[in-house]
A = this chain, B = another copy of it.
Amino acid sequence: MTESPSAGNGLLNRRRLLQMGSAVGVGAILSPVAAEEPWLRRPGAPSSDYGQPSHRAHLVRERVNAHPFGPAAGSSSTPLQSLNGTITPNSLHFERHHSGIPDIDPARHTLTIFGMVDRPLTFNYEALLRYPMQSRILFLECSGNSYQNTFPAAADMTAGELNGLISCAEWTGVPLHYLLEETGIQPASKWVIAEGADASSNNRSVPLSLATEEAMVAIYQNGEPLRGAQGYPMRLLVPGCEGNLSIKWLRSLKLMDQPAHTREETSKYTDLMADGIAQQFSLRMEVKSIITTPSGKMKLQEKGVYEISGLAWSGNGEIRTVEVSADGGNSWAEAEIQSGTGRLQPVRFRIPWRWNGQPATLQSRAIDTAGNTQPTREQALKGQSPLVAYHYNGIQSWQVEHTGRITNVYA
């Protein structure tokens, strides 16, 4: 059986490839290594209370930034190029803090629901633990993710440096509507103003429909209690929407008949259009995908078969299809979605590719179940002010040089 192409410049058919003997063929005919390595001769380290990654894996977040106005306001990005699968380990989940990570004592923290409700109520941590919970695997993306790709020149960065303000976790918490039903929602109520217990009292206005449909008060992330950096002891989680809406260290929810127009929804997180009008409350994150391997600043060592793989997600439902191109968009092949799927759950896509040693431009584009197709960079920027840096979801292009070096390009 011979290799079966699925699109131009070396994209292969995964199913056919895997039916072949000598499928990838990078195993070498060698004798086993002699038992001389130190780890084969001496006992290793014992078990531990709380484990850590291998020091050899060099796992750190990207772009750990401090804001010029104060070191506690900053962010960090997930090193997407070092990861595989869909789950982001909690230690590598992206961060964005407006006044640092507060060290909150859960015994002294409460969540109060007030405003246009029949019966204002306060919940402490122990009380919330008794409520019916749900667990969902969800993506969380900062609306500023990939903003460097809106700049005039393409930055030479890794996948994580460019696009790492997206992470994914199994979140467990109390569906917010249970709590709102206990307080009673007055008919005129249309917005919920969520506020955090950090020193910035970071706050956002959430449409009531989002608050009652899918929002939860998250208490666990990937099994364990929330990290401090992710809102310990509790955070709001509004699935599918820009991360800033999911207020960390959640201390109050005020029901109102209008939005509060807080600083974070006026000075930031709006979309400035070319005509000078800013679009506010564009909250859903649109369909998007990123090839994470091979990707920026990597170097292919030799010709041959590689797996192209990446993440895709949409705030408007599930991912239906991911297509991959190796020739800058002249031809496309459908990748295999090789992970679980579900509403607002990111997927891992995979497709094999034979690199012939010549230049190639690798791209992916995702299509969601609502029928949206990820736009090109040009389409994504159309009509927007050149100053805008939010909600960018254009196709990411990686240029493979004949040397094997890979760079970010605008293709």
- A-side residues, CB < 8 A to B, are 14, 17-18, 20-33, 37-57, 59-61, 64-66, 70-76, 82-93, 95, 97, 99-106, 108-110, 112-114, 119-124, 126-127, 129-135, 137, 168-172, 178-179, 181-184, 197-201, 219-220, 222-229, 232-233, 249, 251-252, 293, 301, 304-307, 309, 338-340, 342, 348, 350, 352
CB <8 Å contact, A219 and B30: no
Copies of the polypeptide in the assembly = 2
Partner of A110, one of B30, B71, B95, B184: B30
Partner of A83, one of B28, B33, B51, B223: B223
A92-B223, A135-B84, A227-B52 known; A39 and B198 CB under 8 Å? yes
Residues of chain B lying within 8 A (CB to CB) of residue A171? 85
CB <8 Å contact, B220 and A85: yes
CA A314 to CA B76, docked complex, whole Å:
39
- Shortest CB distance A278–B (Å): 28
Residues of chain B lying within 8 A (CB to CB) of residue A21? 181-182, 184
CB <8 Å contact, A72 and B45: yes
CB <8 Å contact, A91 and B46: no
Other than A50-B61, A84-B219, give 5 A-B pairs with Cβ distance below 8 A: A40-B197, A44-B199, A46-B64, A56-B103, A57-B225
CB <8 Å contact, A90 and B51: yes
Partner of A99, one of B44, B93, B99, B108: B44
CB <8 Å contact, A27 and B127: yes
Closest to A91 in B: B51
A64-B49, A87-B87, A229-B48 known; A130 and B305 CB under 8 Å? yes
A112-B32, A178-B24, A201-B40 known; A76 and B48 CB under 8 Å? yes
Residues of chain B lying within 8 A (CB to CB) of residue A132? 14, 17-18, 23-24, 307, 350, 352
Closest to A46 in B: B71
CA A168 to CA B43, docked complex, whole Å:
27
CB <8 Å contact, B44 and A102: yes
